Amino acid sequence: MIDHVHRQNSRETGRVCAVARGLGIAGLLPQIAAVWLAVRDPGVGVGEFLAFLYASVIVSFLGGIWWGFAMLRAGRSQARLATVAILPSLAVVAIGLGGFLFDQPDVALIVLGVTVMLTLVVDYHLFRIGEAPAGWMALRVPLSIGLGALTIVAGLL
Euclidean distance between CA atoms 67 and 131, whole angstroms:
12
Predicted local confidence at residue 82, as pLDDT: 98
Sites in the chain below the pLDDT cut of 50? 1-12
Whole-model pTM over 0.85: yes
CB within 8 Å of 22: residues ≥ 6 apart: none
Helix boundaries (H) for 13-45: 18-26, 29-40
Predicted local confidence at residue 2, as pLDDT: 44
Handedness of CA 96, 97, 103, 107 (dihedral sign): negative
DSSP 133: P
Query: What's the mean per-residue pLDDT of the chain?
Result: 92
Euclidean distance between CA atoms 121 and 60, whole angstroms:
15
Amino acid present at 59: V
Predicted local confidence at residue 43, as pLDDT: 84
Chain-centre distance for alpha carbon 95: 15
Predicted local confidence at residue 77, as pLDDT: 95
DSSP-derived 3-state class of residue 51: helix
